[in-house]
Amino acid sequence: EVRIALHRARRPADWRLVEEPVHLADALYANARHDGCILVDCMTLWMNNLIFPDGRTYPEHGVITPPDAFTEEIEALLTALPTLPGHVILVTNEIGFGVIPMGAITRFYVDELGRLNQKLAAAADCVRLMVAGIPVA
């Protein structure tokens, strides 16, 4: 909670905060402005919220079938992004760089976040990978 408070204290006073755990496209439509900029932090947590609604659990082995909202919300986001006025900055994590623990849901999560990151990068005007605080094109 201290870390969150520090982040909030460093923000400019005119920044607004909208917390939307699942319906990201709807939140973007509602808040995008021609002269505005939206920072979405972060896609990794959003993916988690799509896969694990209401504490949903999955087996360690076998095929993972995510909830219907998983595909619907991702499609809604990808449809919304090119139509939004103003600027949208999406923050995500590249979790496939490290050691990936065993288990069907872990593999599913890593693979699906990777796929989402690829789709977002393809739709973006600019992509930066941060390595030790240094932006890499």
Distance CA 70, CA 24 (A): 12
Q: How far is CA 49 from CA 23, 45, 77, 98, 137, in A?
A: 10, 6, 14, 22, 29
Distance CA 123, CA 91 (A): 14
Of 96 and 119, the one with more pLDDT: 119
> Residue 118: pLDDT above 90?
yes
Q: Catalytic site residue 7?
A: yes
CATH architecture of 18-136: 3-Layer(aba) Sandwich (3.40)
The pTM of this model reads 0.91
Q: What is the pLDDT of residues 46-65, one digit of tens each?
A: 999 999 998 899 998 999 99
> Residue 91: pLDDT above 90?
yes
Which helix (H) or strand (E) covers residue 39, if one does?
strand 37-41
Q: What is the largest distance, in Å, between two alpha-carbon atoms of the chain?
A: 49
In this structure, what are the phi and psi dihedrals at residue 91, rounded to the nearest 5 degrees? -105, 135
Domain ranges of the chain: 18-136
